[in-house]
Structure 1
Amino acid sequence: MKKTIVFILISLILLTSFSLTAYGGIKIWPGKLSVELNKWFDEEKEIRHPIQITNPFSNGVNITTRVENPNLKVITERYSLIPDLSWVHTEPENLYIPPKSSKEVEVVINIPIDQQEMYYNEKWETRVVITSDIPLSSGGGMNFQVELAVKLYIITPKSKQGDYPYIFILLFFIFSIIIVYLTTSYIKKKKDNLKSIYYFKNKK
């Protein structure tokens, strides 16, 4: 019994990590999106990531999407707000999902070239908010709105200067080895000279 309970808890944690399900059944995957940029691009280039929205109802639902910054009180530690929210948008912003089917919304990230050099080593957090009108019953009629927010993390490239400390450490290490080698050689040579002098005196 204990093993079963543990398994259920682990399953719930995994499901929460990978998807979001609104009260009433609409499902969004993934529930969290992390985009790490290894380098800036030499030309304008968009980064696109899909978010899948599933409608399990027997009625179609209307979906609207938008990007907004979270409250600073709930932002993830060591992350900050993206400087310009216009760098991220969704396509399409409005869509209709037929009954018992899925569609995708794309998150588009486009950081202008003239801004890139200013934002090395940054960690930004924002939200993709998805709003849907959920029917109260399978027969249609009155609807209510549900909002789900997908956490979006953007990690910018490391600065080119970021590699310099490692180069200095390597050079210092090599220099230290050379110093130790030269010092050891000098001491050994001095000892050998002293032995030679001592031998010469004794021979006399």
Structure 2
Amino acid sequence: MAGSISVARRNFLRSSAFAAAAFTTPGLFAEMLAETPPLMEGPFYPDKLPLDTDNDLLILNDSLTPGVGEITHLTGRILDAVGKPVRNAVVEIWQVDGNGVYLHSRSGGDGTRDKNFQGFGRFLTGSTGEYYFRTVKPVPYPGRTPHIHFAVNQNGRRKLTTQLFLAGHEQNARDGLYRSLGDRQKLVTSEFTPMKESKLGELEAKFDLVLGVTPSES
């Protein structure tokens, strides 16, 4: 049993490396794209990274037990202001587990953190700027609506820090950070929809991030 799960684990990681084939390279647009709004990193970027920092947050190393939650396949592209894909960007995500606890020593939860959930992951974009993560649908925690933190790094520099929100969640209207975005909310909001033909009730979500022009690039 353990051997078969390890094989499945390796097959998943191998298949995710080929996910780029499902993406097409966008052409240049006539107008500048709307920049993804930068949002605060927050206090719970992991203060100790897990040994496993790949793009599958459901399984730690070769563990037999996955993290608890609604399995979500999260995809998107990293683009520049004119729609050109950004290659070799390191995309990071971090979020609470199914109990609303971050991978952070001060996140609380009284020891209820799901130790089978990785909580943090990285992906290096390819020629089409694509990224892919397998994670769980985020849940709320005291004071915040559900969200996933994103960071985009390139050449050792942080290019963007932002957050992704769930479309239509009832707590969005009470979240101060989300409300502050006004008509830019749509730029950081995604539908988490059932994946067709999934027998496990898996979800899928797409989130493209558009980087602004830094002073050194202008």
Q: Do these two structures clear the TM 0.5 threshold for a shared fold by scoring above it?
A: no
Q: Which has the higher helix share?
A: 1
TM-score (norm 1): 0.31
Q: Which has the higher strand share?
A: 1
TM-score (norm 2): 0.29
In our comparison, the structure showing a higher alpha carbon Rg is 1
Question: Greater relative contact order: 1 or 2 (C-alpha under 8 angstroms, separation 6 or more)?
Answer: 2
